[in-house]
Structure 1
Amino acid sequence: MNYKPTLADLRALSAIVTHRSFRKAADELALSPSTLSHMMRSLEANMGVRLLNRTTRSVAATEAGERLVTRLTPLFRDFDLALEEVNEFRGHPSGTLRINTSEIAARVLLDAAVPIFLTRYPDMSLDLVTDNRLVDVVADGFDAGIRLREAVPLDMIAVEFGGDTRFVTVASPAYLAAHPAPQTPDELKTQACIRFRLPSGKLFRWEFEKHGHELAVDVPGVLTLDHVELMAQAAAKGLGIAYVSDRTARPFLESGALVTVLDDWCPAIPGLCLYYPGHRHVPQGLRAFITVLTEVERHGR
């Protein structure tokens, strides 16, 4: 076959297979879905093989398309790495830094680190993807991730910031006026609890520790949510007891809308970390972001 697809065509195919959607891939590539569809029809015609199975509602790779994208993924990674290494000769960072994080961590970054970073490095763009899933930052094309220290993979380099954190059990004064406050985690089994559903579909277990004694409780409840701030809001309305981070609970505690219970069962734990793989070249933009993050941490910004 003499035909050689362009890099743009192959990148487009990879994006479609990754997202399983023309629309999402088009958004990533800053193209219209119709343009992307035309590119794929031309690619398939020129290669003489079907790469995508399309229906009116979905798109998925054929066996040939899946095999091609699997082989291309490490090549794209090496290609981007090569450009990054050459880019370092410019003397200052440029390009896009992609970080996978959570909403809570993103709020912490937006307080100080992000504004300083973007002001100091005007040629850099920052793409913060807030996601409650624990993703493989390498496989999913991120430069780094941000999670609680305990959730960082052991083979990653971690940069701590923001100090320790706590998960606290909270309820409204009105709820506690009608229900006796639990004295031990086991007593939560008789309470109305506001549960959290993980992206995997599993319910989050509430974890407690006191004097070395650890407990994980599958709490009951008639209300289940998948957003921590909504859990705090629901608790503030008297709908039950919630288990959220102290950062999420703080404004409600300060206003008096919520109070803590089981305080002595909720110790501090290691807080947020930015993490990245240590076995590959660290992009210049990521090194610059880490520098800003450590400066902010050092000065208590």
Structure 2
Amino acid sequence: MASVSDLAAVSVLAKECNFRTASEIIGVSTSALSRTIANVEKEVGARLFNRTTRSVSLTDAGRHFILKIEPALREINLAISEVRDIKSQYLGTIRINADEAIARQIINPTIASYLKDYPQMDIELISEGRLVDIVSEGYDAGIRTINNIPKDMIAIPIAIDRNMAVVASPDYLMNKKIPNTPDDLRLHECIREKYPSGRRYKWDFKSQNEIMSLDVPGRLTVNSYNLVIEACLSGVGIGYTGYHFVKPYIESGELCHLLKDWTVEWPTLCLYYPQGRNITSSMRAFIDTLKRQTEID
């Protein structure tokens, strides 16, 4: 009788329609996969696949067979996952990828709270500017702005402060005209920032119901919001970054908050993970913690 793994092999080949690709996914040789398919076909008494030297496709019998076995395979996989989850509940490691600015915003209080509540859990929070494939690189989830999340992911919005701020030190502003509109920035030294791709970041502002983007002037270009803040504190020029990161300096008087009525919010942040992936109890607990701490919608 065909085993669950044999039926799973049929399902994978039906999706991929390519012996080499399917065998790589399953982790067997193409000849071993071919024997498995032949054995299943012999057992059911019907050819499930049409094979040529260049292509593989389902027969009518194959399509009918797949429709019948896939719901059962999903239930079996779910049962296995749930049993494993019970065994390893709240024990192990969650790997999350985010850029540095986002990572800083969720360390306190979300991650600090989670590690306190689940003492046997570990978290690997990896921050980097480039957008990674979280599946191929072994992450459980990612956190990015909604416009940077692949379409085949499940995305959960995170309600945290995303307001932007234009700031400068009192020393820099001394004897200079305070900017009242974004156009006034053309008369100032602005601290510009580059994305990991090398593209320069434009400053967004709102005008009534419209958004304007400015490629501001400036002699200093950096690749980190931390460096933007440091340059502002040093009196190099005017910077543009998340209000969350400069709020303490504004409150202490080390930085002045400019163009308050013009600044906008960054796109919504989302935690995301692949569709079809069964969420473990430990990951669900992390999402619940994030919900409590940041009011996920």
How would you bin the TM-score normalised by the shorter chain? Answer: 0.5 to 0.7
Once the 2 structures are TM-superposed, how far is the Cα of residue 271 of structure 1 from its aligned partner?
Answer: 4.2
Q: Following the alignment from structure 2 to structure 1, what is the Cα–Cα distance between the partners of residues 267 and 201? A: 19
Q: Is the 8 A contact 1:210 1:264 kept in 2?
A: no
- 1:194 counterpart residue number: 191
Q: Return 121-130 or 273-282, whichever deviates more.
A: 273-282
Q: Is the 8 A contact 1:87 1:93 kept in 2?
A: no
Once the 2 structures are TM-superposed, how far is the Cα of residue 161 of structure 1 from its aligned partner?
Answer: 3.0
Q: Is the 8 A contact 2:158 2:295 kept in 1?
A: no
How does 1:66-215 map onto structure 2 within 5 Å?
A: 86-90=83-87, 92-215=89-212
Please, what TM-score do these two structures have when normalized by structure 1? 0.66
**Any idea what SS the aligned residue of 1:291 has?**
helix
> Gapped runs of 5+ residues in structure 1?
1-67, 76-80
1:50-75 deviation line (CA, Å, top 9, x unaligned): xxxxxxxxxxxxxxxxxx99985786
Q: Is the 8 A contact 2:162 2:242 kept in 1?
A: yes
Would the alpha carbon gap of residues 221 and 177 (structure 1) be closer, same or farther in structure 2, given more than 3 Å must change? same
Give the aligned residue type for 1:241: I
1:79-123 deviation line (CA, Å, top 9, x unaligned): xx9986552131623222110012232233222222332233333
Q: CA RMSD in A?
A: 2.9
Q: Is the 8 A contact 2:160 2:295 kept in 1?
A: no
- 2:283 counterpart residue number: 286
Q: Is the 8 A contact 1:87 1:94 kept in 2?
A: no
Q: Is the 8 A contact 2:143 2:270 kept in 1?
A: yes
- 2:34 counterpart residue number: none
Larger Rg: 2
**Any idea what SS the aligned residue of 1:263 has?**
coil
Would the alpha carbon gap of residues 120 and 202 (structure 1) be closer, same or farther in structure 2, given more than 3 Å must change? same
Q: Following the alignment from structure 1 to structure 2, what is the Cα–Cα distance between the partners of residues 174 and 234? A: 12
Would the alpha carbon gap of residues 99 and 71 (structure 1) be closer, same or farther in structure 2, given more than 3 Å must change? farther
Q: Is the 8 A contact 1:252 1:258 kept in 2?
A: yes
Give the aligned residue type for 1:125: D
> Gapped runs of 5+ residues in structure 2?
1-19, 28-77
- 1:221 counterpart residue number: 218
- 1:18 counterpart residue number: none
The count of aligned residue pairs is 227
Q: Return 233-242 or 133-142, whichever deviates more.
A: 133-142
Task: Tell whether 2:264 aligns with 1:267.
Answer: yes
Q: Following the alignment from structure 2 to structure 1, what is the Cα–Cα distance between the partners of residues 210 and 293? A: 35
Task: Please point out which of 254, 259, 273 is paired with 1:257.
Answer: 254
Would the alpha carbon gap of residues 254 and 235 (structure 1) be closer, same or farther in structure 2, given more than 3 Å must change? same
Q: Is the 8 A contact 1:183 1:262 kept in 2?
A: yes
Task: Tell whether 2:271 aligns with 1:277.
Answer: no
Q: Is the 8 A contact 2:159 2:295 kept in 1?
A: no
Q: Following the alignment from structure 1 to structure 2, what is the Cα–Cα distance between the partners of residues 132 and 258? A: 26
Q: Following the alignment from structure 1 to structure 2, what is the Cα–Cα distance between the partners of residues 82 and 137? A: 25
Once the 2 structures are TM-superposed, how far is the Cα of residue 288 of structure 1 from its aligned partner?
Answer: 1.7
Would the alpha carbon gap of residues 244 and 277 (structure 1) be closer, same or farther in structure 2, given more than 3 Å must change? same
Once the 2 structures are TM-superposed, how far is the Cα of residue 128 of structure 1 from its aligned partner?
Answer: 0.3
**Percent of aligned pairs with the same amino acid:** 38
Give the aligned residue type for 2:101: I
